[in-house]
Amino acid sequence: MINHMVEYHRSSLDGVFHALADSTRRSMIRQLAGGQRTVTELSRPFDMSLAAASKHVKVLERAGLVRRAVDGRVHRCSLETGPLAEAHDWLRSYEGFWNQRLDALEGLLTSSPKRTDG
């Protein structure tokens, strides 16, 4: 059981980034940031069947990004922000690296002699 939990934590970012790799799912996340939506509401902006929308929601659920509550035939989805925060923290850990690179580039660009075409 413990090994399974370690493997889950190791692969959780993989699942989040996999889920976010698709523009349809990113759009669904954007919709859910505004509040709870049904699967039908999530599917409206797209030319897709309810079954296809439900498959996208399942990917988001497996990644921990969405929680679905079933009330009869209505499936209500809500955003789970924890996995997004973890992904943001992971990306932010590279901020210093990129700031150093961009500062170096800026230094090169501002210190290079101006060329004049004669």
With H, G, I as helix, E, B as strand and everything else as coil, classify residue 106. helix
With H, G, I as helix, E, B as strand and everything else as coil, classify residue 66. strand
C-alpha span between 112 and 115 (Å, rounded): 9
φ and ψ of 71, to 5 deg: -125, 90
- Cα-based distances in Å from 20 to 29, 69, 95, 101: 9, 21, 20, 26
Classify 2-111 by CATH class: mainly alpha
Q: What is the pLDDT of residues 20-30, one digit of tens each?
A: 999 999 999 99
Give 118's pLDDT tier (boundaries 50, 70, 90).
Answer: low
β-partners of residue 71 are: 74
Question: What is the greatest pairwise CA distance in the chain?
Answer: 77
Question: Which helix or strand (DSSP H or E) is residue 55 part of?
Answer: helix 50-62
Q: What is the pLDDT of residues 74-113, one digit of tens each?
A: 999 999 999 999 999 888 888 877 778 787 888 888 886 6
pTM, two decimals, is 0.73
